[in-house]
């Protein structure tokens, strides 16, 4: 009941923006994620109830978009693009470098809860490949040296 109890005003505001409640699914999921840190099972249930769709329909949306997390993520979520342009320019080595530096594999979170690492589809910045996003900041033209510097600034 997190949304309707704690975020009633925000929910109302989102619903007002859309004549069809189903269009509010993604903004409501964002609200769940911003509030709880990830998209909780309860949040999925609430979004389904509020928008009048089935649980499965909401779950499908959550699993389709990599921006939605179904488990808690670290304070810094590192998303490395491993699509074609970035891959040709060494994305795999960058991921390996990050895995080595953080001591985790892609898809995992460090034990101290500081970093999560994932690979994602094209971020629409192929002309700046290879790229990664940390939370909402894009880092272009990456090298392992640049990554070391960026990680230093994160801690
Ligand atoms: S392939 Fe990496 S940003 Fe497009």
pLDDT digits (tens, 9 = 90+) for 67-98: 899 988 999 999 999 999 999 999 999 999 99
Q: What pLDDT is recorded for position 6? A: 85
The answer to whether the pTM exceeds 0.95 is no
- Report the atom number in ligand 1 closest to the C-alpha of 86: 2
* Tokens 């979520």, residue located: 77
- Choosing from 17, 41, 64, the residue where a domain stops is 64
Q: How far apart are CA 131 and CA 142, in angstroms?
A: 6
Q: How far apart are CA 36 and CA 122, in angstroms?
A: 27
Overall average pLDDT of the 16-27 stretch: 96
The reply to whether 71 falls in a domain is no
Q: How far apart are CA 55 and CA 8, in angstroms?
A: 20
Whether residues 95 and 56 share a domain: the answer is no
Q: What pLDDT is recorded for position 66? A: 81
Q: State which residues form the domain around 88.
A: 76-154
Q: What pLDDT is recorded for position 1? A: 62
Q: What pLDDT is recorded for position 150? A: 97
Q: How far apart are CA 113 and CA 72, in angstroms?
A: 9
- Does residue 81 have its Cβ closer than 6 Å to ligand 1? yes
Taking 80 as the threshold, does the pLDDT of residue 129 lie above it? yes
The DSSP call for residue 109 is: B
User: For residue 131, how far is its CA from the centre of ligand 1 (angstroms)?
Assistant: 7
From 79, 80, 85, the mutation candidate for ligand 1 (largest count of ligand atoms within 8 A of CB) is 85
- Does residue 85 have its Cβ closer than 6 Å to ligand 1? yes
């Amino acid at each position: 009941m997190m949304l309707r109890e704690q975020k009633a005003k925000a929910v109302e505001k989102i619903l007002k923006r859309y004549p069809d409640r189903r269009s509010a699914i993604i903004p409501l999921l964002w609200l769940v994620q911003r509030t709880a840190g990830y998209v909780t099972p309860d949040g999925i249930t609430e979004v389904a109830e509020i928008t009048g769709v089935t649980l499965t329909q909401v779950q499908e949306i959550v699993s389709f978009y990599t921006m939605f997390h179904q488990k808690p993520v670290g304070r810094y979520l590192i998303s490395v693009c491993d699509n074609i342009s970035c891959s040709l320019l060494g994305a795999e080595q960058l991921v390996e470098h990050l895995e080595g530096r953080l001591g985790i594999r892609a898809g995992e979170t460090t034990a101290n809860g500081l970093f999560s690492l994932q690979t994602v589809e094209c971020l629409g910045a192929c002309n700046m490949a290879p790229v990664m996003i940390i939370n909402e900041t894009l880092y272009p033209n990456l090298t392992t040296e640049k990554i070391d510097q960026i990680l230093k600034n994160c801690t």
